[in-house]
Structure 1
């Protein structure tokens, strides 16, 4: 499968979703009727209650029917998966709420796997094989049956502040066999449905890349010693090799869909914005070789950007936990098609000629849909 010390935001700057109101507002219905109530009043109350119950049941039926239709429609896609990033906070900052909704959507879509776009463990990665953050942020949070499927992950800058060799090694996979993480690798999946016979010529290729070493500030004298650069070697040689393999891999690919996945943004209107080193070094390759999409995290929001001066769709899914860090409105040339400054994730459904992405928030609402056709 092989391919080829950060400032934090104070907690008071981060908004949290309010807990569900639940039964609030129904106290009046729970009070006993006054002994002086007339028969007419009682009859009227009963009639109104009956109407309310009928409307509630009808609403529930209609909602479930609509949801069922949506699920049945998406089950025709031979490949379904979820993408989440910047999540590892031991269940805090609504991570568990996002996980619950991921489980629900994952069950509906019968997902094949989950993609994690980095910053898997805050604030500073994992400190050793017995660090409880792995269990508390991963195994004990993503417990839904539908999420017991492979997790394909990349490293984020916060992961590089801890033991990177641990995250990309086998020790964590032995603790939880869902876990797979490496610096850069290729994943291929066919897109022919179950009724297809013979060899499948329609497939998607996912090119996972290691973006943290591209960022200059992480190599400054004051930050370099806080990052775990073991296994990188000489920085420029590592970057040149990664770019060369990405270029050759995309050039030789005959995939119907080509998707590149990394942690850092290329185009974003979130708190971090564009990663200029990625714009300069990676984006030209993506555009030259007609990559369909770049998936990333880093900014703690959900975004879809499609600029007129680029053929690539940029999708940010970095809202797995701590969020509400700001999202600029931008100019028309920035190409922002959708932006949500809050917690959530995305689901992706793919077929030979169709790709669909839904953006979900932590309360289960579908916020935006992107559809592409070949």
Structure 2
């Protein structure tokens, strides 16, 4: 068990690296975007066909002659599928968000990633306030400028996103501003792992299930807090939760995927500042365990974690360190299952083949901190 940087600090001090590390936002220019309507089916088709391409051309590249990143510790892109996961990032470049983005660009280029997953809290402090809110450009389009990151971004909503215009994030308005963007409450993605881009000729594939965790949390529905959350489209809460649980259970049950990964914002198992989410432990965890889910990936806690308990086959991975971090980890025991924890900024990369799932944990300064290897 490895725990790095466990000293809690105050909110005023939280989230900064040493002063010699610059985190200035670089404006690398903009591109003319053509309007495009993107729906889940199109996302799936693009990803299944392996036809993701760079959507923009920038004057600057992410090729860095001073390759300080420990890329030699990563396997060259021999895996059929490589992607990145980052969460809790949208702070208009502040709190080392740009440093994380720079390293994401390097790892993404090295691995030849197919897409990027965002596990929520996409825009702080309270989501987006409308179509013209500059935070979308300043937190997303102007920060993740590396060539390798000009690919599909697949996002879920976090609790901070629900404090703004949640419908804006899951609509196609933002996609017309930046073609990379896709976000929805519940959707699925299949990707072949045979080296072929045609699922019809490949029996080995991964299936990812994206879920909406914020409505499960009881405290967000308290009379005082409920007024600040954008619950439009949810309908009666219990009906929405029951429907999502039923859909997830049925989708997992019918899936013949070699690997099953569920993606949500809130933690299920975590030793971070927020800790476990009791509502998800009660309602979602039994579904994951009964349907042989391999990995649950989340954000919410601003750290990097890998938890694997002896009483469960599910691996729990937290990647919520896209910007403001250093909020403290509670040192766990063997029984709590903490295999790795890092209280600082970073992200993860996932590399997959038919019989191998590899997850690497990266910090904002170019260090490969920890490696998780699963085999079938």
Q: Same fold (TM over 0.5)?
A: yes
User: Compared with structure 1, are the counterparts of its residues 140 and 195 closer, same or farther at alpha carbon in structure 2 (3 Å cutoff)?
Assistant: closer
Q: Distance in 2 between matches of 1:198 and 1:226?
A: 46
Aligned to 1:225: 227
Partner of 2:136: 134
Q: CA deviation at 1:207?
A: 0.3
Q: Output the CA distance in 2 between the equivalents of 1:289 and 1:330.
A: 27
Asked whether the equivalents of residues 69 and 366 of structure 2 are also in contact (C-alpha less than 8 Å), the reply is no
Structure-to-structure mapping, 1:118-133, within 5 angstroms: 118-133=120-135
Partner of residue 238, structure 2? 236
Kept after mapping to 1: 8 A contact 2:305/2:319? yes
Taking the aligned partners of 2:161 and 2:246, their CA distance within structure 1 comes to 24
Q: Are the structure 2 counterparts of residues 21 and 175 from structure 1 closer, same or farther at C-alpha, using a change threshold of 3 Å?
A: closer
Higher relative contact order (CA 8 A, sep 6+): 2
**Residue 18 of structure 1, CA deviation:** 1.2
**Given that residues 100 and 364 in structure 2 are in contact (C-alpha distance below 8 angstroms), is that contact kept between their aligned partners in structure 1?**
yes
Q: Which residue is 1:193 aligned to? A: 195
- What is the rounded CA distance, in whole Å, between the counterparts of 1:226 and 1:187 in structure 2? 32
CA contact (8 A) 2:15 2:96 kept: no
Structure 1 gap segments, 5+ residues each: 1-8, 23-60
Residues 66-119 of structure 1, C-alpha deviations (whole Å, 9 max, x = no match) = 845x55x33110000000000000000000000000000000001000000000
Superposed CA deviations along residues 143-173 of structure 1, whole A, max 9, x for unmatched, are: 0000000000000000000001100000000
Distance 1:90 1:210 in 2: 24
Q: Residue 87 of structure 2 aligns with which residue?
A: 85
Q: Which residue of 2 aligns with 1:255?
A: 257
Q: Deviation at 1:20? A: 3.7
Matched, 1:12 2:1: no
Task: Give the direction of change, closer, same or farther, for the CA distance of 1:283–1:301 in structure 2 (3 Å limit).
Answer: same
Preserved contact between residue 264 and residue 297 of structure 2 (Cα < 8 Å): yes
What per-residue deviation string (whole Å, max 9, x for no partner) do you get for residues 189-217 of structure 1?
Answer: 01111599981111000000000000000
Bigger radius of gyration among the two: 1
1:201 partner SS: coil
Alignment of 1:125-204 (within 5 A): 125-194=127-196, 199-204=201-206
1:35-74, aligned counterparts within 5 Å? Answer: 67-68=71-72, 70=73, 73-74=75-76
In the TM superposition, residue 65 of structure 1 has moved relative to its aligned partner by 12
SS across alignment from 1:12: coil
Moved more, 190-199 or 290-299: 190-199
- TM-score, normalised by the number of residues in structure 1: 0.84
Q: If the length of structure 2 is used for normalisation, what is the TM-score? A: 0.83
Instruction: Give the Å deviation of 1:64.
Output: 8.4
- 1:264 and 2:271 correspond: no
In the TM superposition, residue 16 of structure 1 has moved relative to its aligned partner by: 0.9
Aligned to 1:309: 311
State the secondary structure of the residue aligned to 2:245.
helix
Cα pair distance change 1:66/1:224, threshold 3 Å: closer
Counterparts of 1:176 and 1:113, CA distance in 2: 15
User: Greater helix share, 1 or 2?
Assistant: 1
Query: C-alpha distance in 1, partners of 2:231/2:198?
Result: 46
| 2:206–2:257 Cα contact (<8 Å) kept | yes
- 8 A contact 2:70–2:367 mirrored in 1: no
- The whole-number CA distance in structure 1 between the counterparts of 2:323 and 2:85 is 13
CA distance in 2, matches of 1:263, 1:295: 8
Deviation of the 1:129 alpha carbon = 0.2
Query: Retained in 1: the 8 A contact 2:304–2:361?
Result: yes
* Residue 330 of structure 1: how far off its partner (Å): 1.5
**Structure 1 Cα separation of the partners of residues 197 and 167 of structure 2:** 42
Q: In angstroms, what is the RMSD of aligned CA positions? A: 2.1
Partners of 2:10 and 2:342 in 1: CA distance: 20
Measure the CA separation in 2 of the matches of 1:324 and 1:366: 18
